[in-house]
Chain A
């Protein structure tokens, strides 16, 4: 497994291919770093969303009974953050490494400079670019277009760009490329995809479209489990309840499970198909997901989308095989790393959790198992996945940083809770009102911490 992006770059440069001078590598790093600072900046500027939005669930069309009970503690902790201006950004890492403090100062200094990008947001364009994580920023659009127009896409450049968010309409193509499903060479692309889609159909007729009498007992058990889970897949997005979508989901999951006997189907993998479904369907359906009607699509189109979902799921999970095998050692290992990282970043929270007897496995297991799909509003998931897919092979390691950043969003709140309160809080995190801003914050901070802590990773070795 690769060690992480920077590690990789260092290695590439060290190996001296001549193509990638060390200077370029640090330039990339710096670019990303500035990106991060701007993100933080944007969050400071745009902080017009304290406790209230989180509690009123303005943008939440569906009823989630749990969130109807506003937590007074939460309101309080958010308004405290609100008062703290720039310090509030650091609330997750109080008392942490000095570097972190310096960064915040940098952020402050840069405030005026980058305020153009993140102006008060009176124009709809600015608002939009903030809410889309700047992925529609025209300079970025040009860069994306340029990267994609070459005869052979340079994946490393594409990853660099995609990390900070992909414009929605480019997402299907870019995801296929990032996952190594579509080949970088544009001449071969259509041919390869067509062949893969046919191959998927063959698999389905071979494994799925057969009578139960030809299945083993284990296979029947698996199919039953999948049938139990399909209707329970992201149930708050009603689109997934459509019979055709349900069938596609079932075929994808069962075919994948049969072809990956070491793990087979594991609950939660059903969640992981949903971002792919949404993204690949978005090539054919427009407007709000809730208004989509899949019956408008020809069976051919549905079948292609389904095949793409299947292959992309396969590619994604290839990098995380031992996350779903017996006893799920891959997840256990990452949960351990998460605990270690949090201890390094935020000693007080870490200590408090330990004193209360709260184990990371109790809450973070689901995070790793479903890649956070269960924890954030669904409309933010595809943006989060841009970063996941941009990380490529380094994703499992980077997840640890994202999840640490996610957890420490509530550093203050957690320290006020006892064991039971913490478990309950972490099971139903108040992310209902989240917009792109909160997510960008989580990702930026993950990026910073990765840059800070990954350079001395010995402490994280298990």
Chain B
């Protein structure tokens, strides 16, 4: 048992959502992070899509279950159902299109309406590679993020700039909150408030057992 780690073995499972206007690059951020792929003409996301990746944080394996949502307004009714249970969110805009930045406020409200107040949110200005087309100066993004107490980063899914760090930062912050809560109170309520798990590995596995491959890990 010792030393062996099944691919699907993890200490924490965190649900994260990707939201923001259509065409800002949500699906490409996801494919860059989970498969190291970029697609110049990616199809629009209809409804929701989903991918996972595991990361190491403080010696713990964190598995991110990331839900990529459709950006068009019409799909909001369908996609908001998937916000439930999310402990992290990446709210993406396109640094070359002002309207996508203007809509961030609406997305934030949408998120606040459907998720736990403790959710970790990062504002992301994507397509930073298009330097000559930038319509939103970095400072504007950062300022807005500070005002709303969001984390902030500029990324390029195309050049793979900051994609890894953005996801890693969000997951680390979630982990900090969850493990701190578990240490402070050690009760289920605290853990339930922000993450599907508490400090003890075995309990977490029990909590998420529905997600595990049957018969793969026996506790």
Chain A positions near chain B (C-beta within 8 angstroms): 65-66, 221, 224-225, 228-229, 231-235, 241, 263-264, 266-268, 270, 324, 326-328, 356-357, 361-362, 365-366, 369-370, 374, 418-421, 423-424, 427
Contact = CB atoms under 8 A, between A and B. Distances in A.
B183 interface: no
B97 to A, nearest CB: 9
A328 B46 contact: no
Point out which of B74, B81, B210 has the most chain A C-beta atoms below 10 A from its C-beta: B74
A366 B47 contact: yes
A235 B41 contact: yes
Nearest to A268: B46
Given A267-B70, A418-B211, A420-B65, A365 B47 contact: yes
Contacts of B74: 263-264, 266-267, 324, 326, 328
A221 B106 CA distance: 15
A369 B22 contact: no
Given A225-B22, A420-B52, A366 B46 contact: yes
Contacts of A66: 35
Interface in B178-217: 210-214
Contacts of B78: 327-328, 361, 365
Q: List the 7 closest pairs (A to B, CB-CB), nearest first.
A: A235-B41, A228-B23, A365-B47, A327-B77, A366-B46, A267-B44, A418-B213
**Which of B22, B35, B44, B52 gathers the greatest number of chain A CB atoms within 10 Å?**
B44
A235 B212 contact: no
A413 to B, nearest CB: 14
20 contacts: A65-B35, A66-B35, A225-B23, A228-B22, A228-B44, A235-B39, A266-B72, A267-B44, A267-B74, A268-B44, A324-B74, A328-B74, A361-B47, A362-B48, A362-B50, A418-B214, A419-B210, A420-B65, A420-B211, A421-B213
Interface residues of B, number: 30
Nearest to A370: B46
Contacts of B81: 361
Contacts of A65: 35, 37
B51 interface: yes
B92 to A, nearest CB: 14
A375 to B, nearest CB: 11
A231 B41 contact: yes
B41 A232 contact: yes
Q: Which of A241, A263, A270, A361 has the most CB of B within 10 A?
A: A361
B213 A356 contact: no
Interface string B63-95: 001000010101101100100000000000000
Nearest to B41: A235
A326 B213 CA distance: 37
B42 A232 contact: yes
Contacts of B39: 235
B212 A418 contact: yes
Contacts of A327: 77-78
Nearest to B65: A420
Contacts of B37: 65
B37 to A, nearest CB: 5
A362 B214 contact: no
Contacts of A233: 43
Which of B22, B47, B75 neighbours the largest number of chain A CB atoms within 10 Å of its CB? B47
Contacts of B65: 420
B49 interface: yes
A231 to B, nearest CB: 6
A260 B210 CA distance: 44
Contacts of B42: 232, 235
Residue among A224, A228, A264 facing the most chain B CB atoms (10 A cut-off): A228
A347 to B, nearest CB: 18
B51 A267 contact: no
Nearest to B213: A418
A263 B81 CA distance: 21
B99 interface: yes
Given A232-B43, A362-B47, A374-B46, A326 B77 contact: yes
